[in-house]
């Protein structure tokens, strides 16, 4: 009786322990799998995997397309070279023009100074000589006209204000004498006398201040 009782007890204990052993075994198996999935820092790769680059398929041009492409590329290079050279020459020309304008302004300012009498005389003489050179093969009248024009042009450059005043006075006197000559030619003396401009101060000396005298000198 005691033997059968012990046998039953051991059977019950065995039936109770078998499921727990199976659970323990399954837990150990899952722990082993987790340990296998864990990656250590030393196992990590330094660089990422190479990214595949797409391949470009180049279309080979035809003989005519290749010929035209070469000719157009050559023309484009020639045009670019010509444009660069033109730009370089343009910059050089602009620099020369700027320097010439600066020098001309400096010379003009120097000539128009009040105390530079000798340079002014030289400039007027050069203007007259230039007119004479231009009229070497001309007649006497044209030589005189060219020399006078050159000298007057340089005089106007050196004395702009005085030239303007004398020019206005000369125009007025020329109109007056032209009217007198016209009326005299047609015999209308009375009309010519009326057309003359009466100036009560004509022939009298003009009162000029000391500053204007110094300026005119």
Percent of the chain at pLDDT exceeding 70: 58
pTM > 0.75? no
pLDDT, averaged across the chain: 72
CB-based contacts of 129, cutoff 8 Å, min separation 6: 150
Average pLDDT rounded to a whole number, residues 30-43:
61
* Per-residue pLDDT tens over the stretch 118-168: 888 888 888 888 888 888 888 888 888 888 888 888 888 888 888 788 878
Q: Output the pLDDT for position 47.
A: 60
**Higher pLDDT pick, 191 / 123:** 123
CA distance readout (Å), 155 to 7, 86, 112, 113, 120: 151, 40, 10, 13, 8
Q: Which two tokens stand for residue 111?
A: 């000539």
CB-based contacts of 147, cutoff 8 Å, min separation 6: 128, 131, 132, 135
Strand, coil or helix: what is 169? helix
d(CA 169, CA 163): 10
């Amino acid at each position: 009786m005691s033997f059968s009782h012990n046998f039953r007890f051991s059977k019950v204990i065995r039936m109770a322990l078998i499921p727990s052993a199976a659970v323990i075994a399954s837990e150990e198996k899952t722990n082993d799998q987790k340990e296998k999935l864990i990656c250590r820092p030393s196992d990590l790769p330094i660089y990422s995997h190479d990214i595949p680059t797409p391949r470009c398929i180049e279309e080979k041009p035809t003989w005519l397309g290749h010929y035209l492409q070469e000719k157009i590329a050559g023309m484009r290079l020639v045009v670019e070279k010509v444009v660069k050279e033109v730009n370089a020459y343009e910059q050089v020309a602009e620099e020369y023009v700027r320097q010439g304008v600066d020098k001309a302004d400096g010379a003009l300012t120097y000539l128009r100074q009040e105390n530079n009498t000798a340079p002014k005389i030289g400039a007027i003489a050069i203007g007259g000589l230039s007119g004479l050179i231009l009229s070497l093969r001309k007649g006497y009248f044209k030589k005189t006209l060219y020399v006078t024009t050159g000298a007057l042009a340089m005089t106007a450059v050196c004395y702009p204000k005085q030239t303007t005043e004398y020019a206005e006075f000369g125009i007025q006197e020329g109109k007056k004498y032209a009217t007198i000559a016209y009326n005299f030619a047609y015999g209308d003396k009375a009309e010519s006398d009326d057309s003359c401009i009466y100036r009560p101060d004509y022939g009298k000396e003009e009162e000029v201040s000391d500053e204007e005298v110094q300026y005119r000198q």
